[in-house]
Chain A
């Protein structure tokens, strides 16, 4: 159920855009209106989500220290795992965001007779997560050549290196293969790893199916269903969209509109879902704060005014006891206390 409904949803989206874009006159809706609305929604909602997070204060400074903290001068401390200032925090965040550092240290636990618990390094998740994310990044950057005229040097270079294997005509992009590899692993893992399968929700399968749909339609467009794909017309539309002078001149095949519609769906889905981890990772208090909490006072904006049980009340309760023990007191024994003691 958890995976059938998302899969069906993606198929429904494909069918809807396929049939819809074939209807004469609907090309304007699918080619111009929907992308504009989707992109607008994405930008506004992404900012809204981040602002909502940022609105809540961080009352306590609670980094998770994953290494030796700064203490005595002759003890080497781990600058990147227990950062003590802003620059080191940036270093830690860089490792996390760019190199997926926490996934690198992942282990797998097994239990045997004895009982015996073992832990072994398990870097598959790291590898395929990074392959997926970086392939996606490169693909998005490559697509900029459709929106920019003239195409900037770096983007063209990126496309050149992506097709460096020079397989087939048109040239196969490495990232097309690697993104499918990454997505394939992540999806397979969600079915075959019993822990992950048990906790997965429909919202975990849906983005995977959706992105696979986007990648597959993209690949079909470039390599297999080339008849309806007029690249000049597509570029004209794309440039028109970003310069706010949109025009659809010629008949572009449905496969393009399906691809575009799935991308628009992703843009709308993104800020409403767990995909917002893209922004969230930068704001996580356990990773983006320095471990300097005994050195510099962190202020809690809503620090409640709560006083401890007063010493005066404590002494009132135990004064006789304390005097008997010879423990210094603030106030001398009262007449009643003296009487009670004797």
Chain B
């Protein structure tokens, strides 16, 4: 379907009557049933994908079927209500976070206008407090005495199919970016609540294909894109050819090589499409420049983990490949590429789920001797930490003037910002590879950064208008620095961002390109023996 034109959307966001623009809905939110129309929902999981996943050990994905959210009948199992309530009871028992988040919200509204989905759509159920109430109201009715006795007066609702549909709509209008939890006095994390909602929905077979197909691919082929070993190696070989044409540097990367010092794992998007490909060239050049003893792996060919957007069991299953491969290849530690949600999983979940990694060593940079204390248990280092360390110790030669075509700004991706605290490392790198870069307004960066709007498997075409709305806060901040400082490049350290922000910029700010930080490093890197043509656009220059 055609996406609404940018000026129409611009007017709709600012002038359409919503809770954002001053209008108040006449009906109580409990009386507003959800309506599915083309453009406001992502397509459900294809039956063959779900069947494949259900057949895998350790995970369960029942009720594979053809179904359409626009239909009345979602073909749920007979006892779907019992399954849901039991699923909720089980999660309350297993997750203290869920219990506390259900009980402690005081509806102060601090979170209300913090969510990019609410800012872009004005839909009240996108206010984090209300999104949580969608679940909390059922929790009250089913699990608390006050709710059972007073019902709606206490804010309780009986679980109905209509509510399940509502959960499906709004669990997939939250990108688990955690911005709301920064402002909540108790740190109530809607990301956690959305994860629970998605897990519950999967219990009755309601998921979206754009999440599950990559999950299935990653399970079988080792990466979300479904790249076979041939395709994976082939793509990287092509990149090396391009690098040789551009810089004269000949690189021969190794794959699945036992005994390498470092296993390098990056999101497969970096090996598949622009602009990630240029970021990947940056990695290849950097490792060549320092002579790093590393290997790729076609089996552990995905840094990202769409299991995070699915269920904790699937997340564990997909992430297990990293340690399994590191053990098989006998490497010393793992280096991870630029990816957002990957690092949420690696930083906060990996060791707990798949560790302890006692077959690996505490990461130590072979070039600088720095011991990465902050990673001493998980044994996995972020490329920005690694690169910043190299620059600090003057181990690579950089020529900023090679990035003179770049006037950059930096986008903090949600997960590095709010689940790691990786704020200064990419900035330090930028300081050394570009002459000029500007920060976006202070309330839109660092821990308050705005999501690209299409994370957690929402970067699919059928919900384009929704994505352009939810990405508006970020696009607006870029517009500000583009107008004020002539910024023409949006740098970030996330592969999904590189894909989604490109679409977002093409829509709202067509004069702004998107790139990874490592691409800028690759541009500026001066390597002995190179023979660079005049690369007016760095690694993107078309050389024939």
Residues of A within 8 A of B (CB): 5, 49, 52-54, 56-62, 64-78, 81-82, 96, 100, 102-103, 105-109, 111-117, 119, 125, 129, 193-204, 272-274, 276-277, 280-281, 283-287, 291-300, 302-311, 314-315, 317-318, 321-322, 324-325, 327-328
Contact = CB atoms under 8 A, between A and B. Distances in A.
Given A68-B424, A117-B476, A327-B256, A284 B188 contact: yes
A66 B118 CA distance: 21
Given A75-B428, A296-B377, A62 B317 contact: no
A199 B110 contact: no
Interface string B235-262: 0000000000000000000011110000
B99 A307 contact: no
A115 B324 contact: no
Given A109-B119, A307-B58, A294 B185 contact: no
A112 B22 CA distance: 11
Nearest to A204: B107
B421 A280 contact: no
B94 A281 contact: no
B24 A198 contact: yes
Interface stretch (B35-43, B79-87, B176-184): B176-184
B441 interface: yes
A308 B320 contact: yes
A106 B114 CA distance: 9
Interface string B154-172: 1100000000000000000
Given A58-B97, A194-B19, A293-B378, A327 B233 contact: yes
Interface in B82-118: 92-101, 103-110, 112-114
Q: Pick the most buried of B10, B346, B348: most chain A CB atoms within 10 A of its CB.
A: B348
Contacts of A58: 95-97
- A contacts with B: majority SS: loop
A287 B233 contact: no
A81 B417 CA distance: 12
Given A106-B110, A294-B378, A65 B185 contact: no
A127 to B, nearest CB: 13
Given A56-B95, A59-B95, A111-B14, A65 B192 contact: no
Nearest to B187: A286
Nearest to B428: A75
Interface in B428-476: 428, 441, 443-444, 446-448, 472-473, 476
Interface stretch (B285-293, B367-375, B402-410, B484-492): B367-375
B388 interface: yes
Contacts of B378: 293-294, 297
B154 A102 contact: no
Nearest to A195: B112
Given A58-B97, A68-B423, 12 more contacts: A49-B103, A69-B421, A111-B13, A196-B108, A198-B24, A198-B29, A199-B133, A277-B185, A297-B351, A300-B352, A309-B317, A325-B234
Contacts of A62: 97, 189, 192, 348, 419
13 contacts: A60-B312, A96-B187, A109-B114, A109-B119, A117-B472, A281-B186, A283-B96, A284-B101, A294-B378, A297-B351, A297-B352, A309-B220, A311-B324
Contacts of A315: 299
Contact of B58 (A61, A74, A306): A306
B127 A325 contact: no
B420 interface: yes
Interface stretch (B204-212, B222-230, B521-529): B222-230
A325 B10 CA distance: 50
B519 interface: no
B502 interface: no
Given A112-B14, A327-B298, A72 B389 contact: yes
A306 B320 contact: yes
Given A112-B14, A113-B14, A195-B127, A64 B96 contact: no
Contacts of A328: 255-258
Please tell me the size bucket of the interface on B.
35 or more
Nearest to A6: B153
A335 B348 CA distance: 45
A112 B328 CA distance: 57
Contacts of B220: 309, 314, 317
A322 B318 CA distance: 21
Nearest to A74: B392
A60 B352 contact: yes
A67 B25 contact: no
A54 B373 CA distance: 31
A322 B425 contact: no
Closest CB pairs A-B (n = 5): A69-B421, A308-B320, A306-B58, A286-B187, A280-B104
Contacts of B222: 314
B367 to A, nearest CB: 14
A274 B105 contact: yes
Given A65-B420, A111-B119, A308 B13 contact: no
Given A81-B447, A125-B110, A200-B107, A56 B353 contact: no
B124 A198 contact: yes
Given A62-B97, A195-B113, A304 B313 contact: yes
Contact of A325 (B92, B154, B230): B230
Contacts of B20: 109, 111
A33 B249 CA distance: 88
A281 B124 CA distance: 26
B56 A59 contact: no
B5 interface: no
B510 interface: no
A284 B104 contact: yes
A54 B99 CA distance: 10
Q: Pick the most buried of A57, A64, A273, A280: most chain B CB atoms within 10 A of its CB.
A: A64
A238 B448 CA distance: 50
Given A66-B447, A117-B476, A314-B299, A196 B109 contact: yes
Contacts of A200: 107
B77 interface: no
A201 B110 contact: no
Contact of A65 (B10, B145, B447): B447
A20 B253 CA distance: 87
B190 to A, nearest CB: 11
Given A71-B385, A204-B106, A303-B352, A277 B19 contact: no
Contact of A201 (B25, B155, B221): B155
A59 B352 contact: yes
B443 A294 contact: no
B39 to A, nearest CB: 19
A81 B418 CA distance: 10
A203 B441 CA distance: 38
B109 to A, nearest CB: 4
